[in-house]
């Protein structure tokens, strides 16, 4: 079974700071997804990364994919409170454990 | 464009009772998924349909869970009998099917609001 691991599981960061969430997976895959989930809400798609070296950016979030290392990163730049949520990466239909992000004013 | 619809939004039952959830995917999406999300965890795929056929149900506890998508559109997930450990949010998602030179692939999944099940 494909394993998807994220770290950290919990992240508390101050507004204006930068940080990176890591997603490792156990088998080769041609695409990787990032989702956001607000408390009590469903999942919202953020990024689809389709190939090795793919990089996508939306606002303060940037995602990248290294298929050789089986690693994806989600980089947060100059965090703001609105980014507080749980972030999941997913490979095929297997989801990571999620990273709960809290941005502190 | 209407999103994925699910009902009910909340359900409370006692253990050993039965429960059913309904999902209507985005129009034109051939692939439909049911996930179980236990509090504090990522979603776990229970079953994947393509049109009205089952693609993957390897993680569906078939002794108590069943799902169908008879006309290739909406779908029902049933639990009978429910156990305490079935308490979770049940998410339905749908996606387009992409035909590529490398074979069949699926596009981004769009999730419904979920049904929160509490088993007492």
Please indicate whether, in this complex, the C-beta atoms of A33 and B111 are within 8 angstroms of each other.
no
Whether chain A has a CB inside 8 Å of the CB on B75: the answer is no
The sign one gets for the Cα dihedral B12, A10, A30, A26 is: negative
Cα(B3)–Cα(B112) distance, integer angstroms: 7
Give pLDDT, residue A93: 84
Q: Which residue has the higher pLDDT, B100 or B53?
A: B53
The pLDDT of A68-90, averaged and rounded, is 95
pLDDT at B106 over 80: no
Q: What is the pLDDT of residues B2-57, one digit of tens each?
A: 899 999 999 999 999 999 999 999 998 989 999 999 998 999 999 999 988 999 99
The backbone torsions φ and ψ at residue B50, rounded to the nearest 5 degrees and listed phi first, read -120, 115
φ, ψ for residue B83, nearest 5 deg: -120, 165
CA nearest to B12, candidates B113, B82, B93: B82
Q: Is B95 on the interface with A (CB under 8 A)?
A: no
pLDDT score of A17? 96
Question: What are A33-71's pLDDT values in tens digits?
Answer: 999 999 888 899 999 888 778 899 999 999 999 989 999
pLDDT at B105 over 70: no
Residues of chain B numbered 15-54 and touching chain A (CB < 8 Å): 33, 40-45, 48
Between B30 and B115, residue with greater pLDDT = B115
Q: Which residue has the higher pLDDT, B50 or B97?
A: B50
Between A93 and B80, where is the model more confident?
B80
- For the cut 60, the answer to whether the pLDDT of residue B67 exceeds it is yes
């Amino acid at each position: 079974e494909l394993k998807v691991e994220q770290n950290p599981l919990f992240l508390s960061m101050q507004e204006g700071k930068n940080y990176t969430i890591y997603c490792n997976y156990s088998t080769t895959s041609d695409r990787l997804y990032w989702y956001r989930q607000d408390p009590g809400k469903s999942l919202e798609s953020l990024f689809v990364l389709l190939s090795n070296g793919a990089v996508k950016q939306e606002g303060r979030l940037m995602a990248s994919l290294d298929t050789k290392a089986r690693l994806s990163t989600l980089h947060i730049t100059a965090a703001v409170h609105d980014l507080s949520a749980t972030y999941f990466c997913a490979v095929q239909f297997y989801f990571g454990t999620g990273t709960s992000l809290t941005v502190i004013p | 464009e209407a999103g994925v619809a699910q009902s009910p939004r909340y359900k409370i039952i006692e253990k050993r009772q039965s429960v059913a959830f309904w999902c209507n995917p985005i129009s034109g999406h051939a692939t439909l998924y049911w996930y179980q999300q236990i509090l504090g965890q990522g979603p776990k795929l229970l079953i994947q349909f393509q049109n009205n056929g089952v693609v993957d149900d390897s993680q569906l506890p078939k002794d108590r869970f069943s799902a169908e998508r008879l006309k290739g559109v909406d779908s029902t997930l049933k639990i009978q009998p429910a156990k305490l450990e079935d308490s979770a949010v049940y998410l339905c998602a749908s996606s387009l099917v992409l035909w590529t030179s490398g074979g069949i692939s699926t596009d981004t999944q769009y999730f419904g609001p979920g049904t929160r099940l509490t088993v007492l």
